[in-house]
Structure 1
Amino acid sequence: MNSIVDRPIVLCIGGHDPSGGAGIIADSEAVRAAGAYPISVVSALTEQNTCELVRVHAQPAEQVESQCRTLLRECQPKAIKIGMAGSSRVMRVLNALIDEHPSLPVVLDPILGAGAGQQVVDAAMLNQLKTNLIGRSTLVTPNLIEARSLTDAHDLDDCAAALLASGARWVLITGTHDESSSVHNWLFNTSGLQQRLEWPRLQGSYHGSGCTLASAIAARLALGMTMLDAVAEAQAYTWESLTHALRTGSCQLTPNRLFAMDALVHDA
């Protein structure tokens, strides 16, 4: 007899990375690994591999809107995760959709550049992030470089304060791009620093760690966790996915978001 299981749904909106390291594939794997179920809308197609991002093909904003509305008419997601939007027009669509569903937690990974360093936002998109999308987000997850670009501040506390002043309710600033021997991540809300976590810095460069983290948090929020618990668990999970990383190309390593499944297969 079939057993029907209800799982909380996470609507993931972002770019498609054909290498599987980042984007919608990363979102889907991280959400599924947490025990939630991903539904997805591709806002941009990309030409990339583990070494470089060649080109971004933004999808028509009306197409993104129609796909989102078709899903939302039937499904009842418990969280929304937003990654690469592709264009300022798509961002305006997302602003409207969020306003129509004010009870849904929104996790925004404000991607400004690819893992290999190429920029993926123009001035109009950056303006939409600063003036609209960040302010509609429950949690924003920039790395320190992105936080500085989004705020024109430099110090960590000042970056967090500026993002919170824009309207974000929580800000998680990650230190993955520092040169320190350890990775530090800082979680803020309007009451100040709420959580600081540290891990040993792993050797190598990883493609899609930010997507993995943001999606893992969104999944845990959909499962009903508090922000503090969701962020702490998702960070631990992301670090584990990096320690089990896969060599799928010749440059950046790919997080193994399904490492627990691999362990079950090996033990069988």
Structure 2
Amino acid sequence: MNQHDAVPVVMSFAGNDPTGGAGIQADIESIISMGCHAAPVITALTVQDTAQVIGFAPIEAELVIQQARAVLEDMPVAAVKIGMVGSIEAVQAIHSILMDYPDLPVVLDPVLASGGGAELADDEVIGGLRSLLLPLTTVLTPNSLEARQLAPESDNLDACAMSLLDQGSEFVLLTGTHENTPQVRNTLYGNHRKLETFTWPRLEGSYHGSGCTLAAAIAGLMAQGTEPLSAIHEAQEFTWQALNHGYRIGMGQRLPNRLFWASTQDHDDT
């Protein structure tokens, strides 16, 4: 029996991280964890370890388009996740693709800098994200630093989120790991107002790929037909558990264990 219709396809636009902690591998693991099939479109090659990004090379925009269209014309893609784009040309390429598939839910994780602080998006890319991709975004998942960069005219985080809604995103989930609070507070905005605040225990240390994990999980759940509000809540729970089960195998940040559910299941069955 052909079961392909039972496995939703999520297309992910992201850079390749050779540590496997962030970028396309993070997306693939999260999408699989949501019961979906990942269709990865590489936007950039990076040179990095768990502590810092050393350099990156954007993939030629025409290759980004060719990767995506080859899959879109072959598979029933049910949702799109966008991470690191690498160049303004890639932003324009992704915009041209999404314009042909206006019904697809889009989750945008605006990757502007690495966990170690290296810049991954210049002013031109940031402007392109604002003008070309935000109007096509269903759920935007900036951390507080990214929100301030995307809405520099705003004087507080609530105002940043409102500005991002005004620029076209249907929902903004603003994550609070970078804020100096005892617990992590993630805030959801939509319909021109603050909808809900989620509070999570703050874990020790820092993690490589947490934003990728969250955004890809939301996309996977939405591909399954989950409504955005439920997907946003469930994906946060998955991400927190992945971080809580994380491990430090390099000399820098810890890596999320996005397959924690598999090892837990194996343990329970023994």
Quick check: TM above 0.5? yes
Say what the alpha-carbon RMSD is for the aligned residues: 1.1
Provide the secondary structure at the position in 1 that maps to 2:113.
Answer: coil
What residue number does 1:108 align with? 108
CA distance in structure 2 between the partners assigned to 1:190 and 1:4 by the alignment:
38
Q: Residue 4 of structure 1: CA displacement?
A: 3.2
Deviation, 1:134, is: 1.2
Q: How many Å apart are 1:3 and its aligned residue?
A: 7.2
Counterpart CA distance in 1 for 2:139 and 2:189 is 10
Distance 1:135 1:4 in 2: 34
Query: What is the DSSP-based 3-state SS (H/G/I as helix, E as strand, rest coil) of the residue aligned with 2:266?
Result: helix
CA-to-aligned-CA distance 1:172-228 (integer Å, 9 cap, x gap): 100011121100001111241122100111000000000000000000000111111
Give the Cα separation in 2 of the matches to 1:37 and 1:154: 40
Equivalence for 1:228: 229
The residue number in structure 1 matching 2:179 is 178
Cα 1:75–1:3, aligned 2, differ >3 Å: closer, same or farther?
Answer: closer
What is the rounded CA distance, in whole Å, between the counterparts of 2:174 and 2:160 in structure 1?
A: 9
> Partner of 1:243 in structure 2?
244
Equivalent position amino acid for 2:183 in 1: S
Contact persistence 1:17–1:23 (CA under 8 A)? yes
Question: In the alignment, which residue of structure 2 is the partner of 1:190?
Answer: 191
Correspondence 1:36 to 2:36: yes
Q: What residue number does 1:125 align with?
A: 125
Distance in structure 2 (CA, Å) of the matches to 1:139 and 1:3 = 32
TM-score after normalising by structure 1: 0.97
The match for 2:260 is 259
- TM-superposed deviation, 1:102: 0.3
| Displacement after TM superposition at 1:42 (Å) | 0.4
Alpha-carbon contact 1:195-1:228 (below 8 Å) kept: no
Structure 2: give runs of 5+ residues left out of the alignment. none
CA distance in structure 2 between the aligned counterparts of 1:145 and 1:64, rounded to whole angstroms: 27
Q: Is the 8 A contact 2:110 2:142 kept in 1?
A: yes
Secondary structure at the aligned position of 1:13 is classed as: strand
Match of 2:77, SS state, is coil
Residue 18 of structure 1 is matched in structure 2 by 18
Deviations along 1:121-176, whole A, 9 cap, x unmatched? Answer: 11211110121111211111100111011001131220111001111111110001
Q: What is the number of residues matched between the two proteins? A: 267
Q: Which runs of 5+ in 1 are unaligned?
A: none
Measure, in 2, the Cα distance between the counterparts of 1:96 and 1:62. 11
SS at match of 2:251: coil
Task: Please tell me whether the aligned partners of residues 108 and 137 of structure 1 are also in contact (alpha carbons under 8 angstroms).
Answer: yes
Contact residue 162 and residue 192 of structure 2 kept, 8 A? no
Identify the residue that residue 162 of structure 2 maps to in structure 1.
Answer: 161
**Structure 2 Cα separation of the partners of residues 221 and 155 of structure 1:** 30
The sequence identity of aligned pairs, in percent, is 41
Out of 126-135 and 13-22, give the one that drifted further. Answer: 126-135
Q: Is contact 2:44-2:59 (8 Å) kept?
A: yes
Q: 1:24-44, CA deviations, whole angstroms, 9 ceiling, x for partnerless residues?
A: 000000010011111111000
Residue 62 of structure 2: aligned partner: 62
Give how far 1:115 is off: 0.5
In the alignment, the residues of structure 2 paired with residue 35 and residue 13 of structure 1 have an alpha-carbon distance, to the nearest angstrom, of: 19
Letter in 2 for 1:102: P
Aligned structure 1 segments of 4 or more residues deviating by more than 3 angstroms: 2-5
Distance 1:84 1:47 in 2: 14
Equivalents in 1 of 2:142, 2:237: separation in Å? 17
